[in-house]
A and B are shown apart, each in its own frame.
Chain A
Amino acid sequence: MLTNEAVAQDIIQQFGSDVSEFDDPFGLLTLTVSREKLIPLLQYLKDHKTFQISFLTDLTGVHFPDSPGREFCVVYHAHSLINNYRIRLKVFLAENDIHIPTATILYESANWMERETFDFFGILFDGHPKLQRILNMEEMDYFPMRKQYPLEDGTREDKIDALFGR
């Protein structure tokens, strides 16, 4: 049975100053890793003798427009099916340098999840085999999940803001 402390200690020993902000909300070990060490960390967790965190559960992005320098966050959820242990990794990116290495070299499943994150937030995954929009139309010229863009369809004329609170 893995404990959060043991895993955290091991990771700190291995990666030192590249990992930070350890936390465990609702028992799920959460940590922030620098962009450069993301892939090595994922690789390390995957190949680790006891951890064997080798299943990428989820990958998504978050937009924090109010925190300059770390406007975008890419969140990875990984899972060790052997130990039944989950971990959450975060990478913060600045808006003017929105590049992150792709995880597709480790996990095939990251392919579409990264495309979706690109589609929603415009986060560029370097080395991705085919970084194109996946859910929205190719012609779309903005990244809809960023906070500044509206949710609603702009062409509705029958819905008045006063009544529908749009």
Chain B
Amino acid sequence: MSTSVKMVEAPPSYDGAGFSATSFDKVIGMARANSLWPLPFATSCCGIEFMATMGSHYDFARFGSERPSFSPRQADLLMVMGTIAKKMAPIVKQVYLQMAEPRWVIAMGACASSGGIFDTYSVLQGIDRIIPVDVYIPGCPPRPEQVIDGLMQIQELARNESLRRRNTDEYSLLLNSYGIE
């Protein structure tokens, strides 16, 4: 039995014999952060780098993302990788809408973040024009290390998010600003 396996640290709590008291926020945040199921929405070059990240060398699965979920219903994290053309935009939005709350979004690469070098008539200039984005990963394409860093940022967000955030007025205002009811 190897001892080098690192376990997730339990959140701060009041411990005693036979009990451990902490807030739901922290426990659920910890659970969420370490079991994010990503939906790889790979369109182009960045998808190949994601495959490398998913492969044996960089091993994305170490972060609790063992199962890339290709069904939006069972996914927590939408990873948009690569250029999104205007023709594709409604589909990205549809996929986002199909995901259940809580949901996070990563825009991987320059194209997904801002259109990148493709400032053209056919390319959507950043997916944040249609859906809210939590983490942007720069690079064209980003290295797998950067992708992993982006995922860790999302983990950080998930860990510290209040359980009520998705029910607040601010959140529905944010969604409304993207035309999502």
Assess the A153–B119 pair: CB atoms within 8 A: yes
Give, as a whole number of angstroms, the nearest-CB distance from A13 to chain B: 46
Q: By the criterion CB–CB under 8 Å, are B86 and A156 in contact?
A: no
- Assess whether A156 is in contact with B119, with CB atoms less than 8 Å apart: yes
Per-residue B-contact encoding for A127-153, CB less than 8 Å = 1, 0 else: 000000001110000001000011111
Is B122 in contact with chain A by the CB < 8 A criterion?
Answer: yes
Q: How large is the interface on A (under 10, 10 to 19, 20 to 34, 35 or more residues)?
A: 10 to 19
Task: Report the number of A-B residue pairs with Cβ-Cβ less than 8 Å.
Answer: 28
Binding site for B on A (CB under 8 A): 135-137, 144, 149-156, 159, 166
Q: Flag if B87 contacts A153 (CB, 8 Å).
A: no
Contact check, B125 vs A155: say whether CB atoms are below 8 A apart.
Answer: yes
B-side residues, CB < 8 A to A, are: 86-87, 115, 119-123, 125
A144 to B86, CA, bound (A): 14
Q: Please, which residues of chain A bring their CB within 8 A of the CB of B87?
A: 136-137
Docked-complex contact A159 and B119, CB < 8 angstroms: yes
- The CA of A136 and the CA of B123, in the complex, are separated in Å by 10
Complexed CA–CA distance, A151 and B123 (Å): 11
Cα-based distance from A154 to B86 in the complex (angstroms)? 13
Q: Contacts A136-B87, A137-B86, A137-B87 known; A151 to B121 CB distance under 8 Å? A: yes
Q: Using Cβ atoms and an 8 Å threshold, which residues of chain B touch A136?
A: 87, 122
Q: In the assembled complex, which residues on chain A have CB atoms less than 8 Å from the CB atom of B115?
A: 153, 156
